[in-house]
Amino acid sequence: MQLTINNLNKTYPNGVRALQDVSLEIPTGMYGLLGPNGAGKSTLMRTLATLQDADSGTATLGDINVLTDKDEVRRVLGYLPQEFGVYPRISAVEMLDHLAVLKGIPPAQRKEVVNALLQRVNLWDHRKKSVSSYSGGMRQRFGIAQALLGDPKLIIVDEPTAGLDPGERNRFYNLLSEIGENVIVILSTHIVEDVRELCSNMAIINNGQVLYAGAPDLALSELKGMVWEKAIAKSEIEDYQQQYRVISSKLVAGKPIIHVLSETNPDGGFKAATPGLEDVFFAKISAQEQEA
Ligand SMILES: Nc1ncnc2c1ncn2[C@@H]1O[C@H](COP(=O)(O)OP(=O)(O)OP(=O)(O)O)[C@@H](O)[C@H]1O
Ligand SMILES: [Mg+2]
């Protein structure tokens, strides 16, 4: 199964063009969506999750028309929104059971499914507490459990690890990677390195436009030999930005280290850096800004 998105457009009533001719081919496996705040990630995910309409374009999941056959999509969809909104005062186990009813899980299997999921997301010991009393990380884990109800074939998780501590984040990623090879998992995150570790394919989007789509490794190899770094003084940042194509500036022990994009070693004490996915991210965004 593959999710094929063609020329998807969405402009909000306030004039923001949140999706501009977005075309992506998403195979089974883990697919990473990277992009700065306001890039259009959630808009794309909500559209694919049938919660909001696009203005134009198409999306097909196998032979399902995602934009029109909403009921069919929902039958195979697991979705974790970025914001959950209101939390119920009933216990987690009751809530998940209720959601399992809505998902159409047969009564004979429901209890087993619900209990297994609560165990998988490490909430078994807290199952009798209300979700409204949960910590941020526990709520997120509950959200993951509900997204996995009913063996979905398309899982869309919007910043699923926001608010999880490092241990929970690892556990969550292990869980996602166990789900199986015949499932499409679309994951948005701001943690660029997570995409490199987990996802065989990814897209970088900004201002509603796809800046890169493909394998993380391919994007990295495109930057090979192009990234140079130098430790500078804080007061020098602007000068360097004028003189070089600075794609990032990061404080290391309080001192800025800049990364510069250049086909040859720039003059002035730069040394070659091994490109990371973050360099890819910043390089694509800076290229888009230069064009604008
Ligand atoms: N309901 C809405 N009405 C008007 N504008 C909206 C609406 N939802 C989103 N936007 C705008 O559309 C753009 C894309 O927003 P979106 O939430 O899709 O970005 P995002 O990539 O998910 O960002 P973040 O990383 O902050 O979650 C932003 O400029 C945002 O302000
Ligand atoms: Mg978002």
Answer whether residue 16 shows pLDDT above 80: yes
Quick check: pTM over 0.95?
no
CA distance 253 to 69: 53
CA-nearest residue for atom 5, ligand 1, is: 12
CA distance 37 to 20: 16
Whole-Å CA distances, 61 to 48, 70, 135: 10, 11, 35
- Torsion sign over Cα 23, 201, 147, 12: negative
Residues listed for the chain: 292
Which residues contact residue 3 at a Cβ distance below 8 angstroms, ignoring those fewer than 6 apart? 24, 25, 26, 48, 59, 60, 61, 66, 154, 184, 186
* Overall average pLDDT of the 84-111 stretch: 89
- Torsion sign over Cα 171, 172, 177, 182: positive
Query: Two tokens at 67?
Result: 């934009």
CA-nearest residue for atom 7, ligand 1, is: 12
Residue type, 98: H
- Alpha carbon of 70 to ligand 2 centroid (Å): 22
Q: Where are the beta strands (DSSP E) in 217-266?
A: 227-231, 246-252, 255-261
Bridge partner list, 141: none
- Alpha carbon of 267 to ligand 1 centroid (Å): 41
Query: What residue spans define the domains of the chain?
Result: 3-215, 225-274
Give the pLDDT confidence of 130-145 residue by residue, as tens digits: 999 998 888 888 998 9
Residue 33 belongs to what H/E stretch? strand 29-34
Q: Are 187 and 32 in contact (CB under 8 A)?
A: yes
The overall average pLDDT reported for the chain is 93
| 3 closest CA partner among 69, 63, 80 | 63
pLDDT confidence of 83, banded at 50, 70, 90?
confident
Ligand nearest to the CA of 190: 1
Task: Tell me the percentage of the chain whose pLDDT exceeds 70.
Answer: 99
Q: Which residues sit with their C-beta closer than 6 Å to ligand 1?
A: 12, 14, 16, 18, 35, 37-43, 82
DSSP-derived pairing of the beta strands 64-65 and 56-61: antiparallel
From 10, 12, 53, 83, the mutation candidate for ligand 1 (largest count of ligand atoms within 8 A of CB) is 12
Ligand nearest to the CA of 191: 1
Torsion of CA 72, 26, 279, 46, to 10 degrees: -10
Give the pLDDT confidence of 196-246 residue by residue, as tens digits: 989 999 999 999 999 999 999 999 999 999 999 999 999 999 999 999 999
Architecture per CATH, 3-215: 3-Layer(aba) Sandwich (3.40)
Task: Look at residue 62 and give its three-state secondary structure.
Answer: coil
CA distance 222 to 21: 24
Give the pLDDT confidence of 158-184 residue by residue, as tens digits: 998 888 888 888 888 888 888 877 899
Residue 130 DSSP class: B
End-to-end CA, the chain: 36
- Alpha carbon of 245 to ligand 2 centroid (Å): 28
CA-nearest residue for atom 3, ligand 1, is: 12
Q: Are 266 and 227 in contact (CB under 8 A)?
A: no
| 128 closest CA partner among 136, 137, 118 | 118
